[in-house]
Amino acid sequence: MAAQEKTALGQQANEKKGWLRAHKWLILRRISQLSILALFLAGPLFGVWIVTGNMASSLTLDILPLSDPYVMLQALMSGNLPVMEGLIGVVIVLAFYLLIGGRVYCSWMCPVNIVTDAAAWTRRKLGLKVSSPFSRNTRYWLLGLTLILPPITGAIVWELFNPVSLMFRGIIFGMGWAWMVIIAIFMFDVFISQRGWCGHLCPVGAFYSLLGTKSLLRVSASRRDQCDDCNDCFVICPEPKVIRPALKGADKGIGPLIDEMNCTNCGRCIDICDEDVFSFSSRFKS
């Protein structure tokens, strides 16, 4: 289709699909993130213990154990052997993310994502054009570092600093110095590095992106012939590099599937496209 005159980000989608449909996946993600926090808060606040534990290791309805494989790996590397319930929890969580995409953890579960999305929104509203002084591969080097430290120190060192754990513990038990970390990440993303924390530095996101390398659930630019080059998907996407091959690669014989481990399956490209170019799909379909 012919390129259209540039409008404000998301304006075309709001006008054509309506605000609700143009924010569907964002709303569902926020419900998911806040519901998880609410489930953990219900115990300490109201005595309703549906879930006990924390995001690293929990038990739902006294039956379902869930354990974070990244934390478990660090524990193993520090010389601590997990109990059977922890191992079962890891297997369940691994199966879930291997199937639906590792970075679904980022966009649908992680509370820090709410902060970094808010930072991206603020930066756009302020019209700040900041790139990043860091390569997007820095997160994989940091991931390596967090796995080297446990055998050296005998401790899960990263969990002392991990903003995901700090924010989660802060919301449940009181923020304390977690505020400082969260504000620092927000300011860093607004003023120093576009999508700096989640897109360049966070080793948790790096670990989960590796888990999702072969996941079944994918976004596809299945109607890419309808693209009007408004660019909104590139602006809204937390990992914009993952879009181009699928959206613009038809001439080079590249299929429309976004087959990239860093796609977070956040669905914002689906929301914001007024031409309905994108949709959720599977790796066996385009």
Cβ-contact 125, 118 below 8 angstroms = no
Specify the amino acid at residue 225.
D
Stretch that binds ligand SF4, among 4-12, 77-85, 109-117, 153-161 (CB under 6 A): 109-117
The minimum distance between CB 125 and ligand SF4, in angstroms, equals 19
164 touches ligand SF4 by CB under 6 A: yes
How many residues contact ligand SF4, by CB under 6 A? 26
Which one among 67, 215, 264, 281 touches ligand SF4, defined by CB under 6 A?
264
Asked if 257 interacts with ligand SF4 (CB under 6 A), we say: no
Tell which one of 265, 274, 275, 277 touches ligand SF4 (CB under 6 A): 265
Q: Does residue 113 touch ligand SF4 according to CB under 6 A?
A: yes
Residue 211 in the binding site for ligand SF4 (CB under 6 A): no
Pairing of strands 57-60, 64-67: antiparallel
Distance CA(204)–CA(256), nearest Å, equals: 28
Residue type, 253: G
Whole-angstrom Cα distance, residue 2 to residue 275? Answer: 12
CA distances from 282 to 99, 108, 156, 206, 259 (A): 10, 18, 36, 22, 10
59-67, 69-77, 123-131, 239-247 -> range binding ligand SF4 (CB under 6 A): 239-247
CB 185, min distance to ligand SF4, A? 8
Stretch of 26-34, 40-48, 249-257, 264-272 contacting ligand SF4, by CB under 6 A:
264-272
Token pair 């590249």: residue: 254
Any contact of residue 205 with ligand SF4 (CB under 6 A)?
yes
Q: Show contacts of 121-126: CB within 8 Å, 24+ apart.
A: 122/186, 122/190, 123/189, 123/190, 123/194, 124/9, 124/235, 126/190
Binding site for ligand SF4 (CB under 6 A): 106, 110, 112-113, 116, 163-164, 197-198, 202, 204-205, 219, 237-239, 242-243, 258, 263-269
